[in-house]
Chain A
Amino acid sequence: MSNVKIPPVLRQAVGGERVVQADGATVGEVLDDLCTRHPAVGAQILTSDGTLHKYVNLYVNDEDARLLQWTDTPVGDADTLMILPAMAGGAR
């Protein structure tokens, strides 16, 4: 069971939580479980064929999953997965 940090724009899709838990031995499995538990998240971060949108950054603890093994990166109970889309806000 890994912790998944949810960005502000997806919190509504998980009932307002900032951190939720999901099962899986890899990043991909944790995401699958997350999207099963919270289908509204899947609708936002997955393409129609079930792969991740390019604008979704994933971090395992403080490391970019793209530089690890992407969705095959192994995760354990102590690991935190962070979903991080860019934010635009600044001026207005």
Chain B
Amino acid sequence: MSPSYQDLLAAAREVIPEVEPSEVAPRVAEGAGPLIIDVRETGEWDQGHLPGAVHVPRGFLESRVAGVAHDLDHELLISCASGQRSLLAAVTLRDMGYTNVSNLAGGFARWKQNNHPVEVPRILTPAQRSRYSRHVLIPEVGEEGQLKLLDSRVLLIGAGGLGSPAAYYLAAAGAGTIGLVDDDVVDESNLQRQIIHTTDRVGVNKGESAKEAIRALNPEVQVNVHPFRVNRDNVLDLLSDYDVVVDGADNFPTRYLLADAALMTRTPLVHASILRFEGHASVFMPYDGPCYRCLFPEPPPPDLAPSCGEAGVLGVLCGVMGNVQATEAIKVLLGIGDTLAGRLLIYDALGMTFTELKVRRDPDCPSCGPNADLQLRDYEAWCAGVGSHDHEAAGAPA
């Protein structure tokens, strides 16, 4: 005769030890308990669970358990609502080779009745779960990562070539607060690459224009428009208010200002610059890797450093590099993967090649070195000074 449900439970109790909540609660409180796998459905989990438990719904147990319990001799405690689903789940884990599997007697219900502490997870709303479902599916992001993104604050310097795609994708990704620093207005000649702006917003401040596009794309993103240029007087306050800064500036004084201010406020700096068919990108983690000045101690003179307005830029190049920045910002915020810290990525669109150079901390760096006397300076004057000194004497054509 085929076994009934009651028969299955009885057979499971023969092989799976059961643990009372009161037996294990002290260890859980100390954070020294077994790995607790909660096999309930998502709606039940969202109402609360044992502290430190991981959620693997019963239906995904076999396919996902290796991702949470790496060793077959890991001490596992399986829990559900009343201790029955978890008992059968424990048998499955035993069959899969896990040697140290117990079942929480009476499940979450008894745990709660005995007044042991409960953790209620912060969760995405159903609308957020739907909007960000492709993120939630990625193990490295998941619901926890998406919540982190929603809590995060990204400051973009410039809502132009790099800032447009970066801001657009960061908004789509659900970066909760996006600050846009730009004193410029949308010009018709911007629209070949600055895709967050539109023809009917020519003449509007770029931050305001981007805010409108972001509102249409993802209304829950908070956009802070800072319609001025970043300078010595406002940079520290600005950066202190954000978790990561994305440098899409168009001039060296601003780039060196940001580099120093990022060190002073310990804000990770995601760098990119573009010209014609070529893009550079890197990440500068304050005092935990090279800074911008370790890489480029001094700016070149103006004729060797034309802006895109002077020398031109392939529109789509901005999309590639701006999204490299958005990618790196997301990785920094989530603490996942290997960022470009310590590397300079060079993208040559004509050759369609990506080259990487090693960037190391300069022990004599005047900004981040051990003997640096870091203070904000007049970067306009400094850039003009170092750029021109004996370059003029060399008789180079202007």
Query: Could you list which residues of chain A lie within 8 angstroms of chain B, going by C-beta atoms?
Result: 7-10, 18, 40, 43-44, 46-48, 53-57, 59, 62-64, 67, 82, 84-92
Q: Of the candidates A82, A85, A90, which one forms a contact with B161 in the assembled complex, judged by CB atoms under 8 Å apart?
A: A90
Is B248's CB under 8 angstroms from A91's CB? yes
Once the chains bind, are B357 and A59 in contact (CB under 8 Å)?
yes
Which residues from chain A contact B278 at a C-beta distance below 8 Å?
A: 7-8, 87
What is the CB-to-nearest-CB distance from B389 to chain A, in angstroms, rounded to a whole number?
9
Interface centre among A7, A18, A43, A90 (most CB of B within 10 A): A90
Q: Interface with A: B114-122, B268-276, B367-375, which one?
A: B268-276
- B300 contacts A89, C-beta separation under 8 Å: no
Q: Does the CB pair B356–A89 fall under 8 Å?
A: no
**Tally of chain B residues near chain A (CB < 8 A):** 60
A89 B307 Cβ-Cβ under 8 A: yes
- Max chain B CB contacts within 10 Å: which of A43, A44, A86? A86
| Residues of B with C-beta under 8 A to A55 | 296-301, 304, 386-387
Nearest residue (CB) in A for B307 is A89
> With contacts defined as CB atoms under 8 Å apart, how many contacts are there between chain A and chain B in the complex?
136
Q: Contact between A87 and B158 (Cβ–Cβ < 8 Å)?
A: no
Q: Is the C-beta of B39 less than 8 angstroms from some C-beta in chain A?
A: no
> A88 with B251: in contact, given A18-B351, A62-B357 (CB under 8 Å)?
yes
Subset of 18 A-B contacts with CB under 8 Å: A8-B311, A9-B311, A10-B304, A18-B348, A40-B397, A54-B297, A56-B300, A57-B296, A62-B357, A88-B251, A89-B274, A89-B306, A90-B163, A90-B250, A90-B273, A90-B308, A91-B184, A92-B250
Residues of B within 8 A of A (CB): 157-163, 182, 184, 190, 247-252, 255, 272-278, 280, 295-301, 303-309, 311, 313, 346, 348, 350-351, 355-360, 386-387, 390-391, 393-397
Q: Taking A18-B348, A57-B295 as contacts, is the C-beta distance between A90 and B357 under 8 angstroms?
A: no
Report B-chain residues with C-beta under 8 Å of the C-beta of A8.
275-278, 311
The docked-state distance in angstroms from the alpha carbon of A55 to that of B213 is 39
